[in-house]
Structure 1
């Protein structure tokens, strides 16, 4: 199996996309007309020094990644799975057929504009320190206004917040033996400080419709495959929620022998995947255990919800399918759209289907009725 992965902001460089622009001139012309400026000039020459400004970076990376996918598709065909890091998720959705090239560009253009207008903030990478130790250090130092933005690898976590708080965190991170690297960003991306941008984007995205996914796409906010009905919801949540890249790659690795091919500028994600692979342990499958996720025949969605809520209280530890880290539920099970049994977990913005969850402690099987 193979997965195409698409990079996010930070992978841009002057000169990117040159052979692609020559190969797909119609797409380049369409992008330039929609944006109101020459996308090829921005990427190849950047005469006004705008490529590293968020409102220009995001459309540029999307266009180059989308064209790189079209080239890759001609050479090697479709992938079994798709995933993108933050902004890269839009290129993944384009590759999956959920959005057109034009729709994706309109969305990322608006996303970039809104994020660039957000209140000033800062981001930093904390290396060689675990998520639990990092959260503990931030809490003990009263830096609760800092959010986890990206969980890029087991030893690479990005934090986001006000510049003063980010600067103060350096000493506490280094005391734990971690390496602190300030990132060259103007905003506190994937944090609570993006809430105004998220609100406006939520209104903007209502004007778009999404097509059926032709290839599974792993969502940043859940590290699980998208459901068609959740596309807009996940793209909205992604603006303030952390990028669950480590868990996304772990999910893909748990599917079996997986090859990852990075589509777009540079190979930042390829290095992260290699780091995650080195520490990944394939979860043991217990197919003989009776759980709510493997005994669905003859059980209605309403019965699944009723059984879960009568058996498992809020705060129950559960495993997400294909993962070995437990998470606690933060709501009771509910019936979404009249037919989908779901619930929400701490640490995730979107909901999970009950069939994708397994309680850490088995209490009672679902009663089967004729």
Structure 2
């Protein structure tokens, strides 16, 4: 089985991250302190100035903790990877782990990147849940919101939009009216959008001064969803600032390489959950293609039938049936027969327990979903489990 290490990006930071790694890898920690001009250990463990959540500090902090986590993995006998990938900022760690960048050069780039991105003001971002890329683009088109970009394709049902703060605020009712979950994100800039072009131009000047080496292991690029080409490393790394993070495409590419195991290094398990969702959707498409006895490439969208692996029924056979595949309408019908309004559920995409407020229904003509009380939004039936 092939091995892929993945590294998280901004948003995963938490006070106390890094733990004993700074003491275990004192030489690298000293190098980081010299480059940054402050104690990275003090920032990550104690955050005395409440700076950890500020972009110019967040990015170097995550880079260092991710890098030390990889060092720890290899030191403790962990296998070298077959592939590496990182989400946004985490991509620098993937390149560093692959030998493309030295620890020092990677940190210098990340430091400058964080400073430039922190200067971007007036922007906003929002996560859209349970809507596809195509559906989101159609909503934006119908609402004449052409100033908003798709910033992150995190999973088939978790996509982030980016733009001017006013435009993001104006977009919310359009998504709400389309029964999509709209979650504003706490960011000051319109990251991974056209509004980062100025920062990108400045960053390019710094990137051109760095010497890159050929990777020891393939690294998947955010901007293409495919392995970096050596002669395009500087170009792709620079354009990542203003372009969409194609995380779903990246993981799909890796899944197409055969039996593969993913391990998240660094802080938290955000990527682990996203990969789980991407793989679930990937498996559904493969199963649907086999059911129809046709060969479907990974990029082809197969919306139905739906595999109900996540559904925990009182009578599982009546839900799954003989083939393990049912249509969205059948899934909705079976859910409503098994679970009344007010059923308690849990989801990998939400930390606390949820409660259904309506019966299950079909959204957008194909998606089986149910509305959640208090959360005030819909969840796909494939993404929830009833609590017995």
| TM-score for the superposition, normalised by structure 1 | 0.77
CA contact under 8 A between 1:189 and 1:240: conserved in structure 2?
A: yes
Map 1:1-370; keep pairs closer than 5 Å. 1-74=2-75, 75-280=77-282, 281-282=285-286, 323-325=298-300
Is the deviation greater in 169-178 or in 219-228? Answer: 169-178
CA contact under 8 A between 1:153 and 1:276: conserved in structure 2?
A: yes
Shift of 1:322: 6.7
Which secondary structure state, in structure 1, belongs to the residue aligned with residue 64 of structure 2?
helix
Shift of 1:191: 0.3
Shift of 1:324: 2.5
Residues 233, 282 of structure 1: CA spacing in aligned structure 2 closer, same or farther, 3 A cutoff?
A: farther
Question: For residues 103 and 248 of structure 2, what CA distance do their matches in structure 1 show?
Answer: 28
Residues 322, 7 of structure 1: CA spacing in aligned structure 2 closer, same or farther, 3 A cutoff?
A: farther
Question: For residues 120 and 14 of structure 1, what CA distance do their matches in structure 2 show?
Answer: 27
Question: For residues 263 and 82 of structure 2, what CA distance do their matches in structure 1 show?
Answer: 11
CA contact under 8 A between 2:147 and 2:167: conserved in structure 1?
A: yes
Shift of 1:2: 1.0
Question: For residues 322 and 41 of structure 1, what CA distance do their matches in structure 2 show?
Answer: 49
Which secondary structure state, in structure 1, belongs to the residue aligned with residue 236 of structure 2?
helix
1:287 aligns to what?
Answer: none
Deviations 1:243-273 (A, max 9, x none): 0000100000000011100011000000000
Question: For residues 269 and 184 of structure 1, what CA distance do their matches in structure 2 show?
Answer: 19
Shift of 1:325: 3.8
1:334 aligns to what?
Answer: none
Which secondary structure state, in structure 2, belongs to the residue aligned with residue 5 of structure 1?
strand
Shift of 1:323: 3.2
**Structure 1 stretches (4+) deviating beyond 3 angstroms?**
281-284
| TM-score for the superposition, normalised by structure 2 | 0.73
Gaps of 5+ in 1: 285-320, 327-370
CA contact under 8 A between 1:254 and 1:282: conserved in structure 2?
A: no
Which secondary structure state, in structure 1, belongs to the residue aligned with residue 127 of structure 2?
strand
2:304 aligns to what?
Answer: none
Aligned length, in residue pairs: 291
Aligned-residue CA RMSD in angstroms? Answer: 1.6
Question: For residues 297 and 48 of structure 2, what CA distance do their matches in structure 1 show?
Answer: 47
Gaps of 5+ in 2: 290-295, 302-388
1:290 aligns to what?
Answer: none
CA contact under 8 A between 2:120 and 2:188: conserved in structure 1?
A: no
CA contact under 8 A between 1:94 and 1:104: conserved in structure 2?
A: yes
Which secondary structure state, in structure 1, belongs to the residue aligned with residue 20 of structure 2?
helix
CA contact under 8 A between 1:129 and 1:176: conserved in structure 2?
A: no
Question: For residues 24 and 182 of structure 2, what CA distance do their matches in structure 1 show?
Answer: 41
Question: For residues 32 and 209 of structure 1, what CA distance do their matches in structure 2 show?
Answer: 22
